[in-house]
Amino acid sequence: MADTTIFEMVSPEKLLISKEVGMVVVPGSEGNFGVLPRHTPMIATLRPGVIDIHEDGKVTDRIFVASGFAEVTETRCTVLAEEATALSDVTVADVEKSIADLQDDLKDTTDEFERGRIEARIDVQSVLLAALR
């Protein structure tokens, strides 16, 4: 690739991806943004959504992130993600089951903090389900 930028994705446990790409599209809290070589430096918070990795003019990988941060420099885009899942590794049925289980948990809890945590998890899983459809 003649004109590329380095894309790195890091989870709390390890470096998940490090490769040269043509472009990466990231779900920022203010909206999606594309990162090309020589991008203006910035830091952004992420919302639940899909990161599209472009190579040779086409999307080669799609990764769902629940939250995190992105740091962009002229030569690199680094995503620090609490949770990242390749869309190819998950099915609609898996996510639907996860949502149903979380809804059952929600019915069984009376603790407000726990209710908020479960509701937030349902919201993230709903975004993942929409991305798969």
pLDDT digits (tens, 9 = 90+) for 78-116: 999 988 999 999 999 999 999 999 999 999 998 999 999
16-74 per-position pLDDT tens digit: 999 999 999 999 999 999 999 999 999 999 999 999 999 998 999 999 999 999 999 99
Instruction: Count CA atoms closer than 13 A to 50's CA, side-chain side.
Output: 18
Give me the sign of the Cα torsion angle 127, 60, 13, 30.
Answer: negative
Task: Categorize the per-residue pLDDT at 132 as very low, low, confident or very high, splitting at 50, 70 and 90.
Answer: very high
Q: Which CATH architecture has domain 5-87?
A: Sandwich (2.60)
| Alpha-carbon gap, residue 70 to 29, rounded angstroms | 10
Provide the residue ranges of all domains of the chain, joining segments of one domain with +: 5-87, 90-132
Q: Which burial class, exposed, middle or buried, applies to 129 when counting CB atoms under 10 A from its CB (0-12, 13-18, 19+)?
A: middle
